[in-house]
Amino acid sequence: MTVADMKLADLTMAELMSTRPAVVPVLLRHGLACPGCAMAPFMTVREAAEAYGLELDAFLADLAAADGRPCHSIEVHSTETR
């Protein structure tokens, strides 16, 4: 499935970091502890933004700009159930 089907905000933090490792510095800059966190496979980008009090649209824009790739270019191969 592509991100066209699964919005960036609905990826788990683990999916996001594994498909776009360039976002890790962005996460750290925003004060997120997601790299190395046991909850990363279960928490979505949207949930993380809410938990850390971040404005979702601005956070998503920072993530999308992290490596210069449009967010719809990510292939996600996940067998996780939410």
Contacts of 42 (CB under 8 A, 6+ apart): 12, 82
Q: Check residue 45 and give its pLDDT.
A: 95
pLDDT band for position 4 (cuts 50, 70, 90): very low
Answer whether residue 57 is part of any domain: yes
78 pLDDT above the threshold of 60:
no
Segments forming the whole domain that contains residue 18: 8-73
Q: Which amino acid is it at 54?
A: L
Question: Using alpha carbons only, what angle is made at residue 76 by residues 65 and 54, rounded to the nearest 5 degrees?
Answer: 45
Residue 17 lies in a domain: yes
Q: For the segment 25-39, what is each residue's pLDDT rounded down to a tens digit?
A: 999 999 999 999 999
Start-end of H helices in the chain: 13-19, 24-29, 45-51, 56-65
pLDDT band at 59 (very low <50, low <70, confident <90, very high): very high
Evaluate whether residue 82 is within a structural domain: no
- CATH code of residue 42: 1.10.3910.10
Max Cα-Cα span within the chain: 30
Query: Does residue 32 fall inside a structural domain?
Result: yes
How many domains would you assign to the chain?
1
In the chain, pLDDT over 70 holds for what percent of residues? 76
